Amino acid sequence: MINPKISIEKHWFALYTKPRHEYKAEEEIRNHSIEVYLPTIIVEKRWSDRKKKVEEPLFKNYLFVRADECERINCLKIPSVIKTVCFNGRPSIIPDWQIENLKKILIEKPDLFVTNRIEIGQKVQIIEGPFQDVVGIVTEHKEGEKHLAVSIDLLKRSVLVRLTDDSIIKILEN
């Protein structure tokens, strides 16, 4: 019998994984036919004798699943997954638009970095160029250089993309 309190509606959830188990968790979740998203970036690693570009998770120890409550609980049975990110004791739902914005940003393989703080600033939407329709927060870090922060508020992380001064933006209501 189905418990009427368990939602069958699908939402995005952040899962916390064991250290360096993001790819393993992604594979195991995918094997359960659950939609999973592991955002990755290419970074240059240096060793004493060489340099190499490698792909690594954008958010260490985190990945995202779009799941109903039963699927989310099944993800927690996977050995590589430690827990669902919660707020006030309840699994936190990440809005679809935040995941979609993150996907749009990462498609272009931009020069980006992750910051552990969420910058407070004006909410904008890019209206032209490769980041068209991306919504985020613009912050000034250096003279004449703007950054667009696409936030996953739940994780207290922001992905920052460098924009030129002539980037066209539309100011949105906060």
Q: Which pLDDT belongs to residue 31?
A: 96
pLDDT at position 45, please?
A: 78
Fold classification of 11-94 (topology level): Alpha-Beta Plaits (3.30.70)
Domain ranges for the chain: 11-94, 97-171
Average pLDDT over residues 93-106: 91
Instruction: Output the six-digit token pair for 32.
Output: 């359960």
> How far apart, in whole angstroms, are the C-alpha atoms of residue 28 and residue 153?
26
Read off the pLDDT band of 167 (50, 70, 90): low
3-class SS shares of the chain: helix, strand, coil, % to 5: 20, 45, 40
pTM for the complete prediction? Answer: 0.67
pLDDT tens track for 9-49: 999 999 999 999 999 999 999 999 999 999 998 887 787 78
Burial of 64 (0-12, 13-18, 19+ CB in 10 A): buried
Q: What is the mean pLDDT of residues 68-91?
A: 94
Range of lowest pLDDT (66-75, 96-105, 154-163):
154-163
Answer yes or no: CATH 2.30.30 is held by domain 97-171.
Answer: yes
